């Protein structure tokens, strides 16, 4: 049986300070960090013990995980496990990349978000170039504030041609809704921007969330996804597997990539293939010179 786990422990601090993010420049205490580390160790022991499953793990922290060695080591260990197919992480890519050498890179996936107010474009591009040189499949992305449109175009023109650049649509919290020109501009950078700029109807629809994809927190509480609070069980309970079953979505819409890619009717697994977690389309569909 295949199972994809989106892991989100209590880590919630970040070395960047994006103004729209509640975790920006949030420093956690030594005790809080120790708790995150312990929770991750328990989760890792669980993954290691589940040799009866084919597992993919996607770290989707509230804050930035890769500045901490325990996440770097966890990725390295996961990629070395025979029954783990993929180990991916969302990151601002501010970390060093020396730990990548300890990974089986063909199983590693990186979802890198560029924050132009906190990192120089040259440095972000250099990090992506390093990932390419190391053979790590990765996507790069930006939040689609209209004020970042020019920066997104500049980043597209500087990134390696084989690096997909996604743009996350700002559905709330933007002063003005997108004009058709804004949408056309971001779509030139990211042909899948219209997909992300849609709240996909999901109520009653089949979704892999809760069946072959779950979200897990530091306590082991499993939910079908990050967007539906109701727990379905706890992965550390001996009878947990019985909780994995088809569950039509109970929300009206699903508007976030890490959720809607698992909505069956959108068939986005065909677009992304094995790059679905780190958000890399199976075949290049972008124009590197947008
Ligand atoms: S890099 Fe990510 S987690 Fe950190 S402040 Fe910015 S949006 Fe928040
Ligand atoms: S469609 Fe979205 S909100 Fe509904 S179960 Fe799937 S991931 Fe969760």
Q: Which pLDDT tens digits describe the chain residue by residue (290 residues)? A: 999 999 999 999 999 999 888 888 888 999 999 999 999 999 999 999 999 999 999 999 999 999 999 999 999 999 999 999 999 999 999 999 999 999 999 999 999 999 999 999 999 999 999 999 999 999 999 999 999 999 999 999 999 888 999 999 998 766 678 999 999 999 999 999 999 999 999 999 999 999 999 999 999 999 999 999 999 999 999 999 999 999 999 999 999 999 999 999 999 999 999 999 999 999 887 666 55
Ligand 2-lining residues (CB < 6 angstroms): 202, 207, 209, 224-225, 227-228, 249, 251, 254, 259-260, 262-263
pLDDT of residue 289: 58
Which segments within 154-258 are labelled E, that is strand? Answer: 164-168, 200-201, 213-217, 221-223, 231-234, 253-254
CA of 40 to the centre of ligand 1 (A): 20
Question: 14 lies in a domain?
Answer: no
DSSP state of 239: T
Structure tokens at 166: 């996604």
Establish if 35 belongs to a structural domain: no
Contact 233 CB / ligand 1 (< 6 Å): no
Helix/strand/coil for 137:
strand
CA-nearest residue for atom 5, ligand 1, is 24
Q: Is residue 144 domain-resident? A: yes
Instruction: Kindly state whether residue 66 falls inside one of the protein's structural domains.
Output: no
Cα of 49 from ligand 2 centre, angstroms: 28
CA–centroid distance, 63 to ligand 1, in Å, is 6
Alpha-carbon span 65 to 114, nearest angstrom: 15
Whether residue 56 is contained in a domain is answered as no
**Number of domains observed in the structure of the chain:** 1
The residue contributing the CA closest to ligand 2 atom 4 is 249
| Assigned domain for 79 exists | no
Q: Is residue 139 part of a domain?
A: yes
Looking up tokens 């890792």 gives 44
Which of 14, 17, 112 to probe ligand 1 with, by most ligand atoms within 8 A of CB?
A: 14
Q: What is d(CA 134, CA 98) in angstroms, rounded to the nearest whole number?
A: 10
Task: Compute the distance from residue 196 Cα to the ligand 2 centre, in Å.
Answer: 14
State the Cα–Cα distance between residues 62 and 213, nearest whole angstrom. Answer: 19
Which bin fits 267, alpha (ψ -120 to 50), beta or left (φ > 0)?
A: left
Cα torsion angle, 43, 48, 54, 56, sign: positive
Which domain, by its residues, includes 170?
114-198+265-290
Joined together, the tokens standing for residue 70 give 């325990």
To the nearest 10 degrees (0 to 180), the angle between helices 121-134 and 149-158 is: 40
- Specify if 140 maps to a domain: yes
């Amino acid at each position: 049986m295949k199972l994809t786990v989106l892991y989100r422990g209590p880590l919630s601090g970040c070395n960047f300070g994006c103004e729209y993010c509640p975790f920006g420049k949030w420093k956690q205490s030594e005790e809080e960090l120790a708790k995150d580390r312990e929770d991750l160790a328990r989760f890792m022991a669980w993954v290691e013990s589940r040799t009866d499953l084919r597992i993919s793990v996607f770290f989707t922290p509230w804050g930035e995980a890769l500045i901490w060695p325990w996440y770097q080591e966890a990725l390295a260990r996961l990629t070395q496990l025979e029954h783990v197919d993929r180990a991916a992480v969302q990151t601002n890519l501010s970390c060093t990349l020396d730990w990548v050498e300890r990974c089986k890179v063909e199983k590693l996936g990186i979802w890198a978000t560029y924050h132009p107010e906190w990192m120089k474009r040259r440095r972000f591009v250099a990090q992506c170039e390093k990932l390419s040189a190391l053979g790590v499949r990765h996507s790069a992305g930006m939040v689609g504030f209209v004020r970042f449109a020019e920066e997104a175009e500049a980043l597209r023109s500087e990134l390696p041609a084989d690096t997909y650049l996604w743009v996350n649509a700002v559905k709330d919290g933007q002063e003005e809704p997108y004009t058709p020109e804004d949408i056309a501009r971001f779509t030139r950078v990211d042909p899948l921007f219209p997909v992300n700029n849609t709240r996909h109807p999901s109520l009653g629809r089949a979704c892999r969330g809760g069946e072959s994809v779950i979200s897990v927190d530091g306590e082991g509480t499993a939910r079908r996804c990050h967007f539906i609070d109701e727990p379905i069980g706890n992965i550390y309970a001996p009878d947990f597997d019985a909780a994995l079953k088809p569950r039509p979505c109970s929300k009206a819409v699903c508007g976030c990539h890490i959720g809607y890619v698992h909505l069956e009717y959108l068939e986005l697994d065909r677009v992304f293939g094995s790059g679905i977690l780190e958000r890399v389309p199976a075949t290049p569909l972008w124009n590197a010179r947008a």
